[in-house]
Amino acid sequence: MQSENLDYGPLAPLLGRWHGDRGQDRAPEPDGVEQSAYYETLVFEAAGLTTNAEQQELVALRYHQLVSRKSNDEVFHNESGYWMWERASGLLMQSFSIPRGVAVLAGGQLSDGGVLQVRAAAGDQQWGIVQSPFMQQKAKTLAFDRRLWLEGDELVYEQTTLLDIYGERFEHSDSNRLRRSN
């Protein structure tokens, strides 16, 4: 994989280290809903070009996201993965895993407004979610939707994860605004 002089298209502006302290997490609890303010660091690095089956060319960014609660500085989300873009079709992909026994391959496109949007769903043959037996039984992820865009010098995202947890369906949501720190 070569990363120099590649056209990363809509992914190029993401390169670098970002920090944000305006995060809002809405998560399920056995007796209701927890609302948490958080801060995070999100790092994007060039990962280069990959050719699949001598036909599909993808450029990729590797990323790592570390999220901590403001109330106690406890890390409650640690995610690593890749954002990929195929120039020929405009296809966007995001693959990631979290150390809860969950991995996601989401797909989508760049919208006219410059929003990178990807989605995945459990059981979807193209854009799926894989999870451990425990998570399938106790906190199953049914669907995932992430939107990411730039507003001036800020990186903004919103995401919704549909869960089957505590005997009901719950829309777990997160959002934040980050500033480049390098």
Give pLDDT tens digits for 103-140.
999 999 999 889 999 999 999 999 999 999 999 999 99
Output the pLDDT for position 4.
62
**Segments of the chain with pLDDT less than 50:** 1-2
Residue 122 · residue 143 · CB < 8 Å: yes
What are the tokens at 159? 């995401």
Q: Do residues 144 and 123 make contact, with C-beta atoms less than 8 angstroms apart?
A: no
pLDDT at 5: 81
pTM of the predicted protein model: 0.94
Residues 162, 139: contact at Cβ < 8 Å? no
Q: Would you state the pLDDT for residue 112?
A: 84
CATH superfamily of 9-180: Calycin beta-barrel core domain (2.40.128.20)
Tell me if 106 sits within 8 A of 93, measured CB to CB.
yes
Q: Do residues 109 and 127 make contact, with C-beta atoms less than 8 angstroms apart?
A: no
Q: Is 19 exposed, middle or buried (0-12, 13-18, 19+ CB in 10 A)?
A: middle
Q: What are the phi and psi torsion angles at 179 (to 5°)? A: -115, 145
